[in-house]
Chain A
Amino acid sequence: MKLKIFLLTFFMSGILSAQVTFEAKVSKKQLGINERLRVDFTMNKDGDDFEPPSFENFTVVGGPSQSISNSWVNGVRSFSKSYSFFLAPKKRGKFTIGQATIEIDGETYKTLPINITVSSAIDKPKDPSDPNYIASENIHLVAEVSNSNPYLNEAITVVYKLYVAHGTGVRNWREIDSPRYSDFWSQAIDVKGFDAKEGTYKGEDYRYVILRKTVLYPQKTGKLNIEPLSLDVTVEVPSNRRDVFGRSFMSTVNRRVSAGNRTINVKPLPENGKPDDFSGAVGAFDFKISTNKQTLKATEALELEVKVSGKGNLKLFQLPKLVLPSALEVYEPEHSENVRVRGLGMQGSISDTYTVVPNYQGSYPIPNVSFSYFDTKTKRYKTLTSERLIIDVNEGPLSVSGANNNTTGAVKANVISRNQNQFSAFKTTTSFKSITSKPFFNSTLFWILLLAPFLLIPLVVLVVRKRMIRALDVTGNKIRKTNRLARKYLGEAKKSLGKKEQFYNALERALHNYLKSKLRLETSEFNKEKIEELLGNKNVSTATLDGFISLLTACELARYTPLSAVDMRNDYDKAAFVINALDKQLN
């Protein structure tokens, strides 16, 4: 240990100051067990019989050394004499440095006892008079963090303050190592002038200067380290040497100070209730979509502004993208920021301006866009939704095809024609069908209607063919013809075969009917002579004529004569034969 004791003695006579003081001063009240302590007993008037306290629990490693200073300032003499002891504690604990006594001008003065706390060993025993040690005790660089437990993306400020104890001075400083806030978005805030302010550091009065202010937005969660700021400070430290006026000489020491590492525990944003469209905005914001016009003509430009304003990490998130109807021509948005960084973080607004050009008529809704952020005050997510905008384009081409129509040929003024592409109004009439009605396809009706007509073809073919065969068969035809004639005229007679009266009545009527239809006779003109004459005129053979007449006679006779069933049968066949023969000859 290097001790320098300066004795400066002026032998000068003068008036002593009236007040006598005798006091004890210790260099520190708290020390580690491996440190040393300096005790000064100072008096302002010389005395005798100085008796130091016993210093139990301490070992006197130096002293007593005496120093006397005597100065004249403006004719006033000041005197001080001190005894210094250097003590090393023997053990840990709280001890008291007892009273020292001295006799000045015949009176005994005592100092006040001083309590000293001896703690466990500290790293490096400090030499209390080493300028470096003094500098280290009197200069402190502190990083103050506004919030050491912020949310992700919540602004915190780090303020670097250089505390300088009274009595020491700082000549200048130089940054050795600037912190690189690797896990933060950082922005330094300019500090205008270095105003010294009064403050306390660990309960003691200090002056301090704010060196730096930085706003940080943590970009990662978990424990993040803020790297220390290191400065090389040129410090003026009072030394034990004094000038002629008793002022300490200032010795200049270069001292490295650094604000210790600070660890910030960044909380993640709560997952609970996190909106889907959350893009990392934290703070308090306002969200708006605005347009400079709502009705316009096609091919005019329109500006749509998506704007977020407020406080928070404005530069650190993406604005929600605007999704617009595909029929609108949209250009890349222009991003603009109007953000100031203050002590508390970013403030201002950011916006995206889209230029939109509608090409066709119509109304285009701008879908509402939502923007979510985490409100640091309420610690909840908030979602703001823009109002729905509708852009009306009321003049211009109607659609792609409409546009083509407009370009063809000169447009005649006042041509009245319905525009095919206008939005059609509602329909006034309708016919309802049941929703649950069965489909026609695959129904039985469908298959019948589809296939049945094909059956018609073979049917018709069959019929036609049969008719052709019949036409070819001559004798068969004859018989069929007779049969047909007989069926036609003798049907009734045939039915009553066997019943004499009815049969002959029917037979007579049939013969008459036949002639009536063939010769167009009236019933009144009907008699045998007339028939003979008519049929004779028609060149009917006598055999047939006789047959016919004989039949008529038989009919008349039958009313008065009994006749058998066989006769009736014969007469029927004869009638059929005669009619057939007549028919042939009359044609």
Chain B
Amino acid sequence: MCSLGFSQSTTSFKQANELYNTGYYQEAIDRYNSILGANQHSAELYFNLANCYYKLNEIGPSIFYYEKALQLSPDDTDILNNLGYAQKMTIDTVLEVPENGISKFINKTLNSLSVDGWATRSVGLVFLFVILFLGYYLSRSESKKRLFFVSSSIVFIVLLTSLGLLFKKERLDATTHPAIIFAKESEVRSEPNLGSETSFTLHEGTKVLIVETYNSDWSKIKLRNGETGWVSTVDLKPL
């Protein structure tokens, strides 16, 4: 049953690619969406979908799907590259607060794998560690024992780091809800009502973090430079 669904999706994917390649971007989008409708996804699917929107100059959906693709495969250079193209079309420039070297390195490492990626890596490291440790325990000669001991210690440290990153990443994912601005223009207000003052205006395609929501109509957002404010929830699409 499942494999049947997958093969059907693969056919749809190929057809959509054909449409994309001949320039029928809207039709291709419909076809790609039908795969999503069948409850299946992949980084490549999101990537192609984002490319379609990029070709149609629809900034918001384009960036949204590139980010979706990145969630599934955070290291893909093609996705990062095309996301860069799409971001060139955005109007807002959110300057990031410069991080110091260590936290930048940590964040970069943290975001290089998804939660499941870190989980898989940790499991792999556990096996490696156990094998090396047993090798140390069972080997007779002095030099072999030393070699096994050193390597297993290194693997153990790496394993602990990996586990730490796994839990940190999990917590990070659970607390931060990134979203993309879909409205052409969205006013960020100081309070969650229409009467309050407009702090600044955001435009389509800007990535924000949803901090909290109020009455489901208003979302408190945070920008990468630390600015916060309330935005009408309809202007956003959470990733």
Contact = CB atoms under 8 A, between A and B. Distances in A.
Interface of A: 323-327, 360, 362-365, 367, 388, 390, 399, 420-436, 439-442, 446, 449-451, 453-454, 456-457, 460-461, 464
Given A325-B90, A326-B91, A420-B77, 4 more contacts: A430-B44, A449-B127, A450-B126, A454-B126
Contacts of B185: 323
A327 B204 CA distance: 14
B33 interface: no
A365 to B, nearest CB: 4
A421 B115 CA distance: 28
Interface of A is mostly: loop
B138 A464 contact: yes
Contacts of A323: 91, 185, 203
Contact of A399 (B40, B77, B84, B130): B84
Given A325-B88, A362-B85, A449-B123, A435 B41 contact: yes
Contacts of B81: 420-424
B24 interface: no
Given A435-B39, A450-B126, A428 B57 contact: no
Interface string B165-180: 0100010000000000
B116 interface: yes
Contacts of B9: 432
A461 B203 CA distance: 63
A453 B91 contact: no
Nearest to A459: B134
B157 to A, nearest CB: 16
Given A424-B78, A460-B134, A431 B42 contact: yes
B184 interface: yes
B13 interface: yes
B85 A365 contact: no
A113 B148 CA distance: 142
Contacts of B211: none
B57 A363 contact: yes
17 contacts: A325-B88, A327-B87, A362-B85, A424-B78, A426-B21, A433-B41, A434-B40, A436-B39, A439-B115, A439-B119, A440-B120, A441-B115, A441-B170, A442-B170, A453-B126, A457-B133, A457-B137
Nearest to A359: B88
A451 B54 CA distance: 46
A326 B92 contact: yes
Contact of A460 (B39, B44, B137): B137
A326 B95 CA distance: 11
A446 B170 CA distance: 14
Contacts of B115: 439, 441
Contacts of B170: 441-442
B88 A432 contact: no
Contacts, number: 128
Contacts of B44: 427, 429-430
A434 to B, nearest CB: 6
A432 B48 contact: no
A326 B130 CA distance: 52
Contacts of B47: 426-427
Nearest to B43: A430
Nearest to B6: A432
Nearest to A460: B134
A518 B123 CA distance: 49
Nearest to B8: A432
A446 B85 contact: no
A18 B63 CA distance: 108
Contacts of A435: 36, 39-41
B130 A432 contact: no
Nearest to B187: A276
A418 to B, nearest CB: 11
Q: Point out which of B85, B91, B138 has the most chain A C-beta atoms below 10 A from its C-beta.
A: B85
B20 interface: yes
B35 to A, nearest CB: 7
A365 B89 contact: yes
Contacts of B127: 449, 453
A358 to B, nearest CB: 9
A432 B119 contact: no
Contacts of B118: 441
A457 B152 CA distance: 13
Given A323-B203, A365-B89, A390-B57, A450 B130 contact: no
Contacts of B134: 456-457, 460
Q: Point out which of B13, B89, B92 has the most chain A C-beta atoms below 10 A from its C-beta.
A: B89
B219 interface: no
B146 to A, nearest CB: 19
B51 interface: yes
A477 to B, nearest CB: 21
Contacts of A388: 57
A454 B163 CA distance: 15
B51 A449 contact: no
Interface in B6-25: 6, 9-10, 13, 17, 20-21
Given A450-B126, A453-B126, A456-B134, A440 B116 contact: yes
B129 to A, nearest CB: 8
B82 interface: yes
Contact of B137 (A360, A440, A449, A461): A461
A338 B217 CA distance: 46
A360 B87 CA distance: 12
A98 B184 CA distance: 86
A456 B84 CA distance: 48
B188 interface: no
A421 B57 CA distance: 19
B49 to A, nearest CB: 9
Contact of A450 (B116, B123, B133): B123
8 A-B pairs with least C-beta separation: A430-B44, A327-B88, A453-B130, A424-B78, A326-B93, A427-B44, A441-B119, A432-B40
A447 B40 CA distance: 26
Contacts of A326: 88, 90-93
Nearest to B206: A326
Contacts of A364: 88-89
A426 B55 CA distance: 11
B10 A432 contact: yes
Contacts of B35: 432
A201 to B, nearest CB: 54
Given A435-B41, A441-B119, A430 B13 contact: yes
B140 to A, nearest CB: 12
B70 interface: no
A374 B186 CA distance: 24
Nearest to B48: A426
